[in-house]
């Protein structure tokens, strides 16, 4: 079920294009983090290339979200599922290195620490797009699960609790897992 690409395809013929695509997406993730490029990532690895299934993509996201650390590490798992260890390393570097290099380049030319007027304008202008894309990510992950009405109830409950209380979101993931094990989802 994992590493489901055809066994005869050389790994690098998959890893190469994947790295190029993820690296490009890493530079488009402005204002919403990697969450906002997840829909395009999913379209690329699931719908366009059939390297992994929608269920595997959603599982990778859920696992990374349940683990400590930045949730962008779902990209590592996606890369690993697509092309093993080489895929894991390559996907992680592709998502981390371009923005890090750009950030360092920016710090070298400018010592001014608050974003300037252009930076603020870019942030505000992109905010609505980020919001739309983040919604889309939620939708995609939902579709990768069972997608029935009990799953919708779990999703709505999680959203509601997190918006209304200060409970750590990771507890809602635990609730989802428990509901799943009990056969409710």
Partner 1 sequence: MKISPLQLFIAFSQMALSGFGGVLPFAYRALVERRRWLSAEEFPKLLALSQVMPGPTICNLSVMFGYRSAGLTGAAAALGGMIALPIAIVLALGIGYQQFGDLPPVRRALAGMSAAVAGLIVATAVKMARAMPRRIALLTVMVFVAPAGILLAWRERW
172 binds partner 1 (CB under 8 A): yes
49 binds partner 1 (CB under 8 A): no
State in angstroms the smallest separation of the CB of 95 from partner 1: 7
State in angstroms the smallest separation of the CB of 7 from partner 1: 16
Residue 51 near residue 5 (C-beta atoms within 8 A): yes
Q: Using the minimum distance from each CB to partner 1, give the nearer residue, 7 or 104.
A: 104
4 binds partner 1 (CB under 8 A): no
Query: How does DSSP classify residue 184?
Result: -
Interaction with partner 1 in 57-96: which residues (CB under 8 A)? 58-74, 76-77, 80-81, 88, 92, 95-96
- Comparing C-alpha atoms, which of 177, 139, 174 is closest to residue 156? 139
99 binds partner 1 (CB under 8 A): yes
HSE-up of 126 (CA within 13 Å, CB side)?
15
* Positive/negative CA dihedral, 126, 131, 132, 134: positive
CA geometry: angle at 143 spanning 177 and 84, to 5°? 75
Q: Using the minimum distance from each CB to partner 1, give the nearer residue, 14 or 41.
A: 41
| 112 torsion bin: left (phi>0), alpha (psi -120 to 50), beta (else) | beta
Binding mask 149-168 for partner 1 (x = CB under 8 A): --xx-xxxxxxx-xx----x
23 binds partner 1 (CB under 8 A): no
Binding test (CB under 8 A) with partner 1, winner from 42, 52, 90, 91:
42
């Amino acid at each position: 079920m994992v590493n489901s690409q055809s066994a005869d395809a050389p790994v690098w013929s998959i890893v190469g294009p994947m790295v190029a695509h993820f690296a490009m997406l890493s530079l488009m993730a402005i204002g919403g983090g990697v969450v906002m490029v997840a829909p395009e990532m999913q379209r690329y690895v699931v719908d366009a290339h059939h390297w992994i299934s929608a269920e595997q993509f959603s599982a990778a996201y859920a696992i990374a979200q349940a683990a400590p650390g930045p949730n962008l590490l779902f990209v590592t798992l996606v890369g690993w599922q697509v092309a093993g260890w080489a895929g894991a390393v390559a996907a992680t570097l592709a998502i981390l290195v371009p923005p890090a290099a750009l950030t360092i380049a920016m710090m070298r030319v400018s010592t001014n620490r608050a974003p300037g007027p252009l930076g603020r304008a870019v942030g505000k202008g992109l905010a609505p797009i980020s919001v739309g894309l983040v919604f889309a990510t939620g939708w995609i992950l939902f579709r990768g699960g069972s997608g029935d009405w009990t799953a919708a109830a779990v999703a709505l409950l999680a959203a509601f609790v997190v918006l209304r209380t200060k409970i750590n979101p990771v507890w809602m993931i635990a609730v989802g897992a428990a509901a799943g094990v009990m056969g409710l989802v």
